[in-house]
Amino acid sequence: MQPGEGEISFGLAAGDRQYPQPRFPGPPGHLGEQDGLAHAGFAQQYLDVTGARRWVHESGQPRQLAVPADQPAAQWWSREPLALAQLQSAYGCPAPGTAAHSDGVELVVGRENSAAISIYYEDHGQGAPVVLVHGYLLDGRSWEKQETALLAAGYRVITYDRRGFGASGRPSVGYDYDTLAADLAAPLDALDLRGAVLVGFCAGTGEVTRYLGTYGSARVRAAVLLAPLPPFLPRTDDNPDGIDPGILDEFRREVIADRPAATKTYLDRSYNIDLLGGTRVSDQAWQNSFHVAIGASAAAVRGGAEAWLEDFRADLARITIPVLVVQGAQDRIMPPEATGNRLPGLIRDVRPVVVPDGPHAIICTHAHQVNRALLDFLSTL
């Protein structure tokens, strides 16, 4: 094995890029009781009188308490500020149905102290539903190239921002995969999707896998894992093909010590910028990725990295639907030897595709190959 192959290391020397100015969240609230984990116990309505909000619905997750009969199940805000009386008169908006729409939606899935935890999603197109779950340090807009191809091919496309990223809520809790899978279940249930295809990239493959292992495939007919995290990333006594856990520990320490610098290093390795910079990855695309990444919640960045230590082998054993796996052979974040190459022995119906010169960020650098494999797979279902 050549140096740098089969292992990941986030310790690249810093280059000469200028860091964009990070966006800092507002002051944190007081630490107290938190119900943001796996959606347990949330039953309160979400009221924000500041206006300029999107549609807001409360999740009907089985793990949550039902909304009391004397309280409305959802609220609506216009895009213009409304008076309190107008807000109160807008109670009772029905839950989202199966018809696609173009407005963004915030689905309330939990509560941390006085704030609701919401998941922002978008729902476009008509046809068989495809749900896209973005990767680490990204948001739902990272699927631009895949969404364009899917819509052109006649599919309905649902994207959402994972908690802590993009326009979704930024709680300090809930970055374990049980909770993230419950977040994924929320829009599937709210939209009453049937026959959906779940597509995950990078860390998003974790909640696709955990969702199928926990909730089953009643709503899902197939899954796609791009640059996958499963089956089990760290090396242990019963997982000798994993990577050195010290590498993951080092990355988490770097995130805590200097998140912008750690983000730059991660993105350089995700894009294989030393090989593909200026050809498949423009400076502008890299800078856009940095802005999105540094705008994420610090808790989500730390918690997401910690969740990479979770074991998905039991979830994989419960998957009975067809699964497409696509990965770059030069993936330096999720080395194929530790991740994708092992999945054919752990999933009953798996269809592997390798992008020979692909890095981790294949949905951007090799979008044509990824889209072709995705559309070919969907055509067989």
Please give the radius of gyration of the chain, using alpha carbons only, rounded to the nearest integer. Answer: 20
Residue 84 has pLDDT above 80, yes or no: no
Question: Of the ranges 6-10, 27-31, 100-104, 195-199, which one carries the lowest mean pLDDT score?
Answer: 27-31
**So what's the architecture of 55-379 in CATH?**
3-Layer(aba) Sandwich (3.40)
Three-state SS for 22-44 is: CCCCCCCCCCCCECCCCCCCCCC
- Of 166, 132, 107, nearest to 378 by C-alpha is 132
pLDDT value at position 11? 43
C-alpha span between 248 and 215 (Å, rounded)? 29
Q: Name the pLDDT band for 315 (thresholds 50, 70, 90).
A: very high
Distances (CA, A) of 244 to 176, 204, 232, 241, 301: 21, 22, 12, 9, 20
**In this prediction, what percent of the chain has a pLDDT beyond 70?**
73
Torsions phi, psi for 302 (to 5 deg)? -70, -50
Nearest to 106 by CA among 166, 192, 65, 43: 166
pTM of the prediction? 0.78
Cα distance from N-terminal residue to C-terminal residue, the chain: 38
Alpha-carbon distance of 228 to 188, in angstroms, equals 21
Residue 34: per-residue pLDDT: 44
Burial 296-317, CB ≥16 within 10 A → b, else e: bbbbbbbbbbebbebbbeebbe
Q: What stretches of the chain adopt beta strand conformation (E)?
A: 55-58, 74-75, 101-112, 115-124, 129-133, 156-160, 196-201, 220-226, 323-328, 350-355
Is residue 239 classed exposed, middle or buried when 0-12, 13-18 and 19+ CB atoms within 10 A define those classes? middle
What is the per-residue pLDDT across 142-201, written as a single tens digit (0 to 9) for each?
999 999 999 999 999 999 999 999 999 999 999 999 999 999 999 999 999 999 999 999
Q: Is the pLDDT confidence value at 96 over 80?
A: no
Q: What is the pLDDT averaged over residues 52-79?
A: 38
Domain edges within the chain: 55-379
Residue 102 clears pLDDT 60, i.e. is over it: no
- The pLDDT tens digits for 133-144 are 999 999 999 999
pLDDT confidence of residue 104: 85
Which position has the higher pLDDT, 32 or 247? 247
Residue 37: its pLDDT value, please? 57
pLDDT in tens, 14-57: 333 333 333 333 333 333 334 455 544 333 333 332 333 344 44
Torsion angle of C-alpha atoms 294, 300, 304, 305, degrees rounded to 10:
60
Q: Is the pLDDT of residue 359 over 50?
A: yes
pLDDT of residue 58 exceeding 80, the answer is: no
Q: What is the mean pLDDT of residues 320-336?
A: 98
pLDDT surpasses 80 at 270: yes
Q: What are phi and psi of 244, to 5 degrees?
A: -60, 120
pLDDT at 308 over 50: yes
Amino acid letter for position 224: V
